[in-house]
Amino acid sequence: MEAAGAAMPTDPDLRHHGDAEVGDGLVDFAVNVRGVAPPDWLARRLRRSIEDLARYPDPARARHAVARRHGRTPDEVLPTAGAAEAFVLLARALTPRRAVVVHPQFTEPEAALRAAGHPVERVVLDGDFKLDPGRIPPDADLVMIGNPTNPTSVLHSAAEILDVCARPGRTVVVDEAFMDCVPGEPETLAGVSAPGLVVLRSLTKTWALAGLRAGYVLAPPPLITALSEAQPLWAVSTPALVAIEACCEPAALAEAGAWAAALGVERDRLAGELALRGLIAVPGARASFLCVRTPDALDLRERLRERGYAVRRGDTFPGLGPDWLRIAVRDRAANDTLLEALDDLGR
Ligand SMILES: Cc1ncc(COP(=O)(O)O)c(C=O)c1O
């Protein structure tokens, strides 16, 4: 008999992620981390934090810095070992009767809920992949949404998510791991204190810190208490807490903002160039990757690998099929090499 909440055998592999697609010296267009290393100023702060490693980590300063950055109170903030830990803590602490994951999106929220034994329903968006609040079952008491969404790169409006949130007793988790790709973050809910609203943020992508494990949860204080009780003691290391504090400083926010503006220009150019080669991106992309459709996607992915380029398959995302790929946006020079590889393949 199948365990409660287990994935169906025919399901896509929810635990497949872009990092499994790189290696062997391939040029990486599969993982969405920006750059190959954190900026020098941040690396220096991390190196200095090693001098404090004899002490157990204390999250107080990081909590205050995050609270200041988003206009919240420290008791609304919980530092976590990346957004990935936050999904697990939520799955441990919550007892949903009807949990809904809005797909296509990053698959760990669903995987974490299932691993904790919660049955999961999927609301699968299609067409332009924009959130339709009317599709959420009225009695869903836990709803998980990515914004902007991995892999579609679509940015949902804050108003629509608040609409989903406006049901008493419902918890809405908004994964904003890529929100700092959007200049000015007009649709973020990180600064909004509302019953049942949970926002997750990550340092991984923008600051090239995938190996550090740093992120945080913003939520009403009672839920923050419940999550911290579900969290292992000292789960977030001193260097990760130093990074969280540092990346909330005005100079870091300005740097991230400038990068987001430049990213947008290059992303839109790349989308245009890919379209000329028959790879059509989901319109309105706002994150650091493009979700593209082409009938021979899996075959093209293999042929790009043979030429030394890794792009991420789309078929492991519920709601996408074998004709989808996700392509990270790199700098102009790197993107041009991918376009040349496509040209060489006759695209
Ligand atoms: C949408 C999304 N959310 C969260 C995560 C996990 O981020 P972290 O490294 O902070 O655990 C990822 C990683 O790929 C992601 O794509």
The per-residue pLDDT for 10 is 53
**62 CA from centroid of ligand 1 (Å):** 20
CA 82 / ligand 1 centre spacing (Å): 7
Most confident of 5-14, 25-34, 273-282: 273-282
pLDDT greater than 70 at residue 6: no
- In-domain check, residue 7: no
Which two structure tokens, joined as six digits, stand for 290? 């493009």
pLDDT, tens only, 208-258: 999 999 999 999 999 999 999 999 999 999 999 999 999 999 999 999 999
Domain end residue (candidates: 249, 265, 294):
249
Q: What is the domain range of residue 52?
A: 40-249
> Residue 3: is its pLDDT beyond 70?
no
In contact, 196 and 165? CB cutoff 8 Å: yes
Q: How far apart are CA 247 and CA 254, in angstroms?
A: 10
Residues 263, 268, 272, 278: what is their CA dihedral angle, to the nearest 10 degrees? 80
Q: Decide if pLDDT at 201 tops 60.
A: yes
User: Which atom of ligand 1 lies nearest, measured to the CA of 203?
Assistant: 10
CA 317 to centroid of ligand 1, rounded, Å: 14
Q: Which residue among 202, 289, 312 is best mutated to probe the pocket of ligand 1, counting the most ligand atoms within 8 A of its Cβ?
A: 202
Domain final residue pick, 249, 275, 294: 249
- Ligand 1 atom with minimal separation from the 146 CA: 1
Ligand 1 binding residues, C-beta < 6 A:
82-84, 106, 146, 150, 175, 177, 202, 204, 210, 215
In a domain? residue 151: yes
User: Are residues 55 and 103 located together in one domain of the fold?
Assistant: yes
- The string of pLDDT tens digits covering residues 113-135 is 999 999 999 999 999 999 999 99
Compute the distance from residue 90 Cα to the ligand 1 centre, in Å. 15
Residues 266 and 173 in one domain: no
Given a cut of 60, is residue 2 above it in pLDDT?
no
- Boundary (domain end) residue, out of 249, 275, 303: 249
82 with 117, same domain? yes
**Residues composing the chain:** 347
152 plus 274 within the same structural domain:
no
Could you tell me which residue, 276 or 34, shows the higher pLDDT?
276
Do 12 and 317 form a contact (C-beta atoms < 8 A)? yes
Nearest in space to 150 (alpha carbons), one of 125, 126, 175: 175
Determine the distance separating the centroid of ligand 1 and the alpha carbon of 203, expressed in angstroms. 9
Q: Could you give the CA distance from residue 339 to residue 208 in angstroms, rounded to a whole number?
A: 24
Does one domain contain both 171 and 93? yes
Do 50 and 64 sit in the same domain of this protein? yes
Q: What is the domain-level CATH number for residue 122?
A: 3.40.640.10
Per-residue pLDDT tens over the stretch 256-273: 999 999 999 999 999 999
191 plus 316 within the same structural domain: no
109 plus 204 within the same structural domain:
yes
pLDDT bucket at 82, cuts 50 / 70 / 90: very high
> CB–CB of 217/82 below 8 Å?
no
Contacts of 255 (CB under 8 A, 6+ apart): 39
What's the alpha-carbon Rg for the chain, to the nearest Å? Answer: 20
Nearest CA to ligand 1 atom 3: 177
pLDDT recorded at residue 189? 98
Residue 19: other Cβ atoms inside 10 A: 13
pLDDT for residue 23 is more than 90: no
Read out DSSP for 55-114? SPP-THHHHHHHHHHHT--GGGEEEESHHHHHHHHHHHH---SSEEEEESS-SHHHHHHH
Q: Which atom of ligand 1 is nearest to the CA of 17?
A: 14
Number of structural domains the chain divides into = 2
Q: Classify residue 70: in a domain, yes or no.
A: yes
What's 287's DSSP letter? S
Q: How far apart are alpha carbons 204 and 215 in whole angstroms?
A: 8
pLDDT at residue 259 in the model: 96
Q: Which residue do the tokens 């160039």 mark? A: 273
CATH number at 261 reads 3.90.1150.10
- How far is ligand 1, taken at its centre, from the CA of residue 147, in Å? 12
